[in-house]
Chains A and B, each alone.
Chain A
């Protein structure tokens, strides 16, 4: 707990908020549910591995069995980039401030002698640590369950790239939904509509509208390591038009920085009047 009346600097208060937020976020019911969700790809990978070892590979891609690095690439694309990463962002990112408001504990935080923005930043850093410590081991276990050891030497650099894509995806979605959680009342509903309504829709539309999504930039980083064909079993996930990876990373960083800055500004200016 933060004690004393001395006003702390931004970095120090951020660190303190981060310290107690990690534990509360990590052991929350929501995180437990999401951790179970991130275990699903590991289970699928294990089942696929056993099925393949028995000579009956799972028909996962348009009826075509996939194995090894091919199946792993498809799972990174379909399970992690298009589902787990945005879902973590929606459920945990929107709750950074909104949960404190809902639990009526926001006033306790804001009466402390700390900058309001540091509460958001500390909680955002806790979100990053918690989500990466759940999603990355899941991705790692899926990789080693699917890819034979003999193919690890050649495919391991791709896994490191997938790690980077997942981390930047979690960071960007977290910042975006952190802002949504600050400015929108029903933030989870808005987040789910954005992730499962708006983004799939604009990705299928021609033109520049797809640039108004995070998925477009994240998926622009992915096609170098996963299938892009018509036989993929979830064709709505396929993005025909992609951006150069360098530009995509730049845009993701811009979205992240802009959303965080706007969220800090909004938290600093907003008056939180709690319902009795």
Chain B
């Protein structure tokens, strides 16, 4: 091997080693931001701001493969709009989506949950998604090196779709999406909140879980002021569910003191008793109501339940009676005028 050959090979190797070293350093810097999340919970938590008041996660793949889902699917109707949107985007929820994480409250707005952020992990055709959103008035841009397409959402709010990292799609208000990108660049993420991460750690066994501020949730659903006042002593809640041939879950609420926990237990007990009285009215309800277990331990009130696959029809009919999501570009979407 001649000297010039050796020199060329060393040069080529040097370029590769330098590039790989740069990439590794950048990857290490980026991953260290989300290191806490990696150890406990999905890595998407690294994109959620520390002040988030609700975070919910669903393992879509497990859900899609469960027997319970098959029973549920048999009862679904009126999903054509959602299917049409997914079809346009080239996304098959059964094969292309692994998990979905929703957070709210990173940018607080009044008593509600604030700006919503949805992070979907899976396999996406980025070009196609961007093309579809742009066809409907979306404006593409770059933010912190990530592709972002803004459009006016169904409620006339500025919405954005961003490709956070390969295989991770971010969707939500423009503020929430930009904030999530900032988190990836080194902002203080939810993983730094020990209180929330303890609750997340407790809920991790489930295929779906949620952790949030009870007050923010009560504000979001628009409870009457006197009713909402009764929940003012409640702090964080966590919910966790597993799907196999049945849907098993538990909801835990932390009250500020034992008196608050006792009040909540009484309220829930009342609802459970009412449900038991009316259980015979609808098929499937007795199985669900009979599975309800209410327990109180100190300041924690827990309610566990199980929905057998035979009762999935009830949930399915409830879900299909709800209003379907309007597709992108339907009458609810106002195309954004091109920038001058």
A150 to B125, CA, bound (A): 22
A137 to B166, CA, bound (A): 22
CB within 8 Å of A: which of B123-161? 123, 125-128, 130-131, 134, 140, 142, 144-147
8 Å CB contact of B144 from A20, A26, A62, A150: A150
Residue B257 at the chain A interface, CB threshold 8 Å: no
A150-B145, A224-B123 in contact; A155/B165 too (CB < 8 A)?
yes
Contact between A133 and B127 (Cβ–Cβ < 8 Å)? no
Contact with A along B81-101 (1 / 0, CB 8 A): 000000000100000000000
Contact between B127 and A232 (Cβ–Cβ < 8 Å)? yes
Chain B residues with a Cβ closer than 8 Å to the other chain, count: 42
Contact with B along A120-164 (1 / 0, CB 8 A): 000000000100011011001101100111111111111110000
Residue A70 at the chain B interface, CB threshold 8 Å: yes
Contact with A along B150-190 (1 / 0, CB 8 A): 00000000000001111100000000000000001100000
8 Å CB contact of A152 from B22, B125, B127: B22
Residue A46 at the chain B interface, CB threshold 8 Å: no
Contact between B127 and A159 (Cβ–Cβ < 8 Å)? no
- List, in ascending order, chain B residues with CB within 8 A of A22's CB: 1, 5, 9
Query: Total number of A-B contacts with CB less than 8 angstroms?
Result: 118
Contact with A along B5-46 (1 / 0, CB 8 A): 100110011011001101110110111000000000000000
Residue A231 at the chain B interface, CB threshold 8 Å: yes
- List, in ascending order, chain B residues with CB within 8 A of A70's CB: 126-127, 130, 147, 163
Interface residues of A (CB under 8 A from B): 19-20, 22-23, 26-27, 61-62, 64-70, 73-74, 129, 133-134, 136-137, 140-141, 143-144, 147-160, 224-225, 227-232
A–B pairs, 21, beta carbons within 8 Å? A64-B127, A64-B130, A64-B131, A70-B126, A70-B127, A70-B163, A133-B8, A136-B12, A137-B15, A137-B16, A140-B16, A144-B22, A150-B146, A154-B166, A156-B26, A160-B20, A224-B167, A225-B166, A228-B90, A229-B128, A231-B131
